[in-house]
Amino acid sequence: MPQAPDDLDEEYDDEDDWDVIDPVVKAPPPPPPPPPVGERCARCSAVVPAGAGVCPGCLNPVGASGPQARRLAGGVLRLVFRGGGRHLDVPRGSEIRLGRSESWAPEAAGLMADEETVSARHATLVHTPDGAAWLTEVPRGASNGTRVNDRVLVPGSPVRLRDGDRVDLGPEVDFVVRGIEEEPANAAP
């Protein structure tokens, strides 16, 4: 005989007949970490690629802090410009002119051609045979000035550079000096 609807309700009202199962949700495992891209340089904050021994921006050794020199072969002086790993190498016993003029500063003009705050004839840098380095703003003066570690240069007066010095050519272009020997005996250029 068919059951009456009330009989069905009684059968399903009894909670003791049901087994309560807690759902077990397993979270998927986290994705593996991405391969190391690099780390930030403690000196200039540039990204140093994984496995590199020195910062491409300022040549500071990875993991080092403070002005630690990286000596280049043959006593070459390196001017490391901010951003993009641009640099100029100055061999011992040579002079380099810094400016936008291709005829006056052929080595530097390619790097500074689009830098409107750098004068066509801005400054000269002499790297003496004994390893000293001297920077001089052109005698008539650069339009936006030259600074070494925030010290304003007097046009025509050479200033001795030290390893790790920051040189500003106007308000938007700067570089760090790398590879200068410790205290060479030579006085002025």
Does a structural domain hold residue 139? yes
Q: Kindly state whether residue 141 falls inside one of the protein's structural domains.
A: yes
Residues 119 and 174 in one domain: yes
CATH number at residue 88: 2.60.200.20
Residues 84, 171, single domain; the answer is: yes
pLDDT of res. 180: 77
Q: Does residue 59 share a domain with residue 74?
A: no
Decide if 31 is inside a domain: no
Nearest to 63 by CA among 85, 82, 38, 88: 38
Whether residue 49 is found in the same domain as residue 95 = no
In this structure, what token pair is assigned to residue 66? 């403070």
144/132 same-domain check: yes
**Domain end (from 66, 86, 115):** 66
Are 77 and 165 within one domain?
yes
pTM of the predicted model, to two decimals? 0.62
Query: Where does 31-161 show beta strands of DSSP type E?
Result: 38-40, 47-49, 77-81, 87-90, 94-98, 123-127, 133-137, 146-148, 151-152, 159-160
pLDDT the model gives residue 94: 93
Question: From CA 183, how far away is CA 156, in angstroms rounded?
Answer: 23
Let me know whether 157 and 84 are in one domain: yes
Count the domains in the chain: 2
Residue 5 in any domain: the answer is no
Q: Does residue 16 belong to any structural domain of this protein?
A: no
Does 42 share its domain with 133?
A: no
* pLDDT tens figures, 52-105: 777 776 666 666 544 444 455 457 889 988 866 688 999 999 999 999 999 999
The domain boundary residue, chosen from 66, 84, 114: 66
Give the domain range for residue 141: 69-178
Token pair recorded at residue 133: 């380095």
The verdict on 53 and 130 lying in the same domain is: no
161/77 same-domain check? yes
In a domain, 33, yes or no: no
Mean pLDDT for back-to-back runs of 10 residues, the chain (189 residues):
55 63 78 75 73 70 52 72 81 94 92 89 93 92 91 94 92 88 53
Same domain, 162 and 89: yes
5's tokens: 């609807």
> In Å, what is the CA distance from 117 to each residue of 55, 82, 168?
26, 15, 11
Q: Does residue 188 sit within a domain?
A: no
